[in-house]
A and B are shown apart, each in its own frame.
Chain A
Amino acid sequence: MDELMLDGNAVAGVLQEVFAFEMTTAVGTCGNCGVAGPIGALHVYRGAGIVLRCPHCNNVIGKIVRDDTRMWISLSGVRTVQIAV
């Protein structure tokens, strides 16, 4: 357990900037362990950029980096994301 760790909810604003959908309730399936859960329950770390990790196996689900005019998002650790539309 790390004192610095936050929940996926903490990056709700950043995700909503990109996806027009409410992402924290979207359900992601971890590409490493296969467990599914809401994005809001992911473990969030702030390093040079934001890292989203699976709360079960700690696998990197995604990364977010931004400057004033660009944002780089990887969701390489997610197998699929299910979003209510």
Chain B
Amino acid sequence: MAGAALLGRLTWQLAGVVDVVTETPRVKTIVFDVPEWLGHRAGQHVDIRLTAEDGYRAERSYSIASAPDGTRIALTVERLDDGEVSPYLTDELRAGDRIELRGPVGGYFVWEPGQGGPLFLVAGGSGIAPLMAMLRLRAAAGSDVDARLLFSSRSWNEIIYRDELERLRDDGVVVAHTLTRSQPAGWSGYTRRVDREMLAEVGAGPEHEPHVYVCGPTAFVEVVAEDLVGLGHEPRAIRTERFGATGG
């Protein structure tokens, strides 16, 4: 990837909905075809703009969950009951619809195989999306960089990409789940909120200088980032993407 950061001005373009895939009861992945897409880096996001007939507009940002794949990108959206945009994306959109988006944007929260590892990813709920793009890119690039994911979800049924993460385990990725609200019978994994001890048990220690990426609700990211610094990780090695109080 060129070191130059000259990108040209960003404009809104129309993307077509190709597919809508149910991930969990509240989460769907929407696959778009973006005719003028020039590719993206793992961790980047797009801004989406919706316009009602009377001109009312709403804009939100969503992380790209897919590795680069021609003109196709996938966004994974959690439906928030009192959200304005997410219920439209998960309940209303269908193949053939179009949406305005611009991107990709964000050079701060990205990982490329060339950066090496170890890679330590910490996700809260739908915060898994940009981290999944990183893991998918790692797989597509045939990288064997040490990669570990600590993923907090409410319950077994709400683990986004659960089966694919199982397959990544077979590929050498360390995947540790914590289920904070309910666990299936026989569950022997973590059952509490991410804390310092859990981070120390799962992730590469600061002496290995991992690239750390944390994504999820603001409160989650704040606690995890503080704990990581408390464990001795350099603040500059920790990149965060906060989703705000709600994704919308």
Note whether A and B contact each other (Cβ less than 8 A).
Answer: yes
Interfacial residues, chain A to chain B (CB-CB below 8 A): 1-10, 12-13, 16-17, 20-22, 24-26, 37-41, 83-85
5 nearest A-B pairs in the assembled complex, by CB-CB distance: A40-B108, A22-B5, A24-B108, A12-B105, A3-B245
Q: Are A84 and B4 in contact (CB under 8 A)?
A: yes
Q: With the chains together, A21 CA to B217 CA distance in Å?
A: 28
Classify chain B's interface size. Answer: 20 to 34
Whether B108 and A9, one on each chain, are in contact in the complex, defined by CB atoms closer than 8 angstroms, is yes
Question: 8 Å CB contacts to A: which residues of B143-172?
Answer: none
The answer to the question of B185 belonging to the interface, with a C-beta cut-off of 8 Å to chain A, is no
Mask, B208-248, CB within 8 Å of A = 1, is: 00000000011100100000000000001001111111000
A20 touches B107 (CB 8 A): no
Judge whether A4 and B106 touch: CB under 8 Å.
no
Check if B222 sits within 8 Å of A1, measured CB to CB. Answer: yes
Is A13 within 8 A of B6, CB to CB? no
CA of A8 to CA of B243 in the docked complex: distance in angstroms? 12
Contact B103 A17 (CB under 8 A): no
Residues of chain B within 8 A of A12, CB atoms compared:
45, 105-108
Residue on B nearest A8 in the bound complex, by CB: B108
CB of B140 within 8 Å of the partner chain: no
Closest residue of chain B to A15 (Cβ to Cβ) is: B105
In the complex the two chains form, is A5's CB within 8 Å of B102's CB? Answer: no
23 contacts between A and B (CB under 8 A): A1-B219, A3-B217, A4-B244, A5-B242, A6-B242, A6-B244, A7-B109, A7-B240, A9-B109, A13-B10, A13-B47, A16-B9, A20-B8, A21-B6, A24-B106, A24-B107, A39-B108, A40-B107, A40-B109, A40-B239, A41-B240, A85-B5, A85-B6
Q: Beyond A13-B10, A13-B105: 16 further Cβ-contacts under 8 Å?
A: A1-B222, A2-B218, A4-B245, A6-B218, A6-B243, A7-B108, A7-B242, A9-B241, A10-B244, A13-B47, A21-B7, A22-B107, A24-B109, A83-B5, A85-B4, A85-B5
Q: Given that A16-B10, A20-B8 are known contacts, is A25 also in contact with B108, CB under 8 Å in the complex?
A: yes
